[in-house]
Every structure is written in structure tokens, then in C-alpha cells.
Amino acid sequence: MSDQELLQRYYARGDADLLGILLERYTLILFGVGMKYLKSEVEAEDMVQQVFLKALSEVPKYRIDNFGGWLYLVARNYCLSLLRQKQAYFLSEVPENIAQPETTDEKALWQKEEDI
């Protein structure tokens, strides 16, 4: 059965087993997407689980025409969100040994820069 047929039957019957079959088909593909973005097996496995949970809660609410494409977008967005969170965390950590400017006066800082 094609993805579209399984989706149509799922929407008609509400049988979670049909959705499970669909998700099972995409497990390795989702894991590959996770590895591409996250570069970590553990994080990729977690991402697959999170995408499955989102699918279980969101698919019944909406009509999805392209299940594989929708899953890919959910997985990609999750990975990008996780990477943004990591980046924000690392950027917020300022090491104590970095010299801070002597003054916070912007004009003085620019003048100091021009003098160099």
C-alpha cells in the first residue's frame, strides 16, 4: 500500500496501527536527517522519537497530502531548533578571562579604535 492509501485509510478508520506502519517506513530516513544535521546518534534517535510523538498528535488534526514531505519538514525544523538552542547556549557563555572594555562610552571606544 502507498503512503497516500495508508493515510486515507487512517483518516477513515482512525486506526493507529496504520499510522504506525507509515512511521515505521520513515524511521531510517528520519534518522539519516538527524545525523546530517545533529552529527550525533543519540541526538538523532531522540529527534526521531520527538518527530513520531509530534506525528501521533498532529496527524489526526490535519489532512496531510504528502506524509513523507511533512515528516521531513518536521524533522528538519526540530533539528534546526535544537542547533539554534545549542548555539544560543554557547554564545551566552562568556569566559571570565576575556578582557572587558575599560569604558562603556561608545564614543571613547570608537576613538580608541581609530587611534590604533
pLDDT score for 39? 94
| Global confidence as pTM | 0.71
**Domain encompassing residue 59:** 3-96
pLDDT score for 30? 96
Work out how many domains the chain is built from and give that number: 1
Whole-number Å distance between alpha carbons of 116 and 108: 13
Q: What is the CATH number of the domain that holds 84?
A: 1.10.1740.10
In a domain, 67, yes or no: yes
In a domain, 71, yes or no: yes
Cα–Cα separations (whole angstroms), residue 39 to 79, 88, 89: 10, 18, 18
pLDDT score for 87? 80
In a domain, 63, yes or no: yes
Nearest residue to 37 (alpha-carbon basis) of 71, 68, 67, 81: 81
